[in-house]
Every structure is written in C-alpha cells, then in structure tokens.
Amino acid sequence: DAGVIQSPRHEVTEMGQEVTLRCKPISGHDYLFWYRQTMMRGLELLIYFNNNVPIDDSGMPEDRFSAKMPNASFSTLKIQPSEPRDSAVYFCATLLGAEQYFGPGTRLTVT
Amino acid sequence: ELKVEQNPLFLSMQEGKNYTIYCNYSTTSDRLYWYRQDPGKSLESLFVLLSNGAVKQEGRLMASLDTKARLSTLHITAAVHDLSATYFCAVGNNDMRFGAGTRLTVKP
C-alpha cells in the first residue's frame, strides 16, 4: 500500500486565492482526519470524517475553510479566500482500529 | 476541553545517557499515542497505549501509561544521535489532541 497520499506537496499562492488540498486515504481505513501544523499553534485537528461523513468540524478555524469527502477514496480541504496566516503544513491522516497513519503533508505558503 | 502538556519542550542529551519525557493530560481517555517527527517530515507512529499500566518498548524507547495519574512517559535509554527528532504525545479516541512536542537533540 502506498500509504496516505497528499497533493500537492508544496503550494505557494497569493492572498485571496482559493487553495484546494487533496488526500487519498489508505484503502479500507474508515476514519480520515485533517490537521494543521504551525510553529505557533502546534498540531491542530481541523475536521474528521467517519465513513465519508463529517463528524467533528469544531477545529475548522473559520468559514473560509471547508472540507469534503465525496467518497471513500478522496477528500479535499479548501481555503477560500486564503490569507497569509493560513500558511502551515496540512496533514491528512487515516485511522484503522487504534492505528493512525499520517500522509506526507502539504506545505502551504500564502504571500 | 482536553489539554495535553509535554515536558520538557527542549531536551539536549549526551549520547549514552538516559532521560524521560513526560505527557500529562487533563481528562480521561482510552488511547495515548507517541509520535516521532523529523524536520520537514511527517509524523511516524511509535507507540499506541490502550490501557492502564501498558508498557511498550522498541529499541531504546519505552513508553508507559498511567491512566489514573493521566500521565504517560517516554523513556530513552542510552541515547544515540539517530534519536534526535521531535517527539509528540497525543491523547483521545478520534478527536485527538497533541502535546506541544519535545525537541530532542542527542550530542556525541
């Protein structure tokens, strides 16, 4: 298995632009998580899905952020419009039983 | 709200020495995780602790869990340079909360 796949690995965009981050989970893993990592705030859980259904989005910082999981093989995290303070590494992770697996992350820079 | 505190946040060790990283959490939880992160990399799972008194060991690292004290420890034995990384604990079932991380540097 290729593990959790995220794309793009790096994204540089200008303030105000829309950004879409993508995640392909490990097949058969029924939970999917989106995290954000910054120096100031550490690792934060943004949202998680169970069987493609959003369960808890209380970590989503504001309405500019949205996440979808249209099927078991794909999830997106969208920021519209982006702001410089959104610059961070965004990780997607999946869970099967008690084991969580992280993707390689997307490093987002908003200028 | 669940809070997770790690200490120390920074740790500089000599090779061959032993040390312990502590993880305290504020509310009851069924699961505690330890992860390793190298600079610019993703998180690598080290241990999952699921019950009071659980102890797991892998190489020079040993993790334990005391659910009554809401405390987990990550013990490093005879540190080597390759262990230099940031170590995170995380607590929770699905809505996991992470500690701030302990940046470990092992010096020759």
3-state secondary structure B39-101: CCCCEEEEEEECCCCCEEEECCEEEEEECCCCEEEEEECCCCHHHCEEEEEEECCCCCEECCC
Q: Provide the Cα torsion B48, B50, B53, B59; round to 10°.
A: -20
Q: pLDDT-based confidence at B2, cuts 50/70/90?
A: confident
| Pairing outcome for strands B32-37 and B43-49 | antiparallel
Cα distance from N-terminal residue to C-terminal residue, chain A? 36
- pLDDT exceeds 90 at position A62: no
Chain B contact set for A95 (CB, 8 A): 94
Inter-chain residue contact A99 with B45, CB threshold 8 Å? yes
List the single residue in B42, B99, B100 with the smallest CB-CB distance to A104: B42
pLDDT score at A82: 97
- pLDDT exceeds 90 at position B52: no
Percent of chain B having pLDDT more than 90? Answer: 85
List the single residue in B43, B90, B95 with the smallest CB-CB distance to A48: B95
List the single residue in A95, A99, A103 with the smallest CB-CB distance to B94: A95
- pLDDT exceeds 80 at position B54: yes
Cβ-based contacts under 8 A for chains A and B: 43
Q: What is the mean pLDDT of residues A82-93?
A: 97
**Alpha-carbon distance B37 to nearest alpha carbon in chain A (angstroms):** 11
Q: Round the average pLDDT of chain B to a whole number and report it.
A: 94
Distance of CA B105 to the CA centre of its chain: 14
Q: pLDDT-based confidence at B59, cuts 50/70/90?
A: very high
Put simply, whether B69 touches A (Cβ < 8 Å) is: no
Chain A contact set for B43 (CB, 8 A): 91, 93, 102
pLDDT score at A98: 87
**Alpha-carbon distance B48 to nearest alpha carbon in chain A (angstroms):** 7
Inter-chain residue contact A45 with B31, CB threshold 8 Å? no
Put simply, whether B56 touches A (Cβ < 8 Å) is: no
Mutation site for B-interface testing, chosen from A4, A37, A100 by largest number of B Cβ within 10 Å = A100
**Alpha-carbon distance B30 to nearest alpha carbon in chain A (angstroms):** 10
pLDDT score at B28: 84
Put simply, whether B33 touches A (Cβ < 8 Å) is: yes
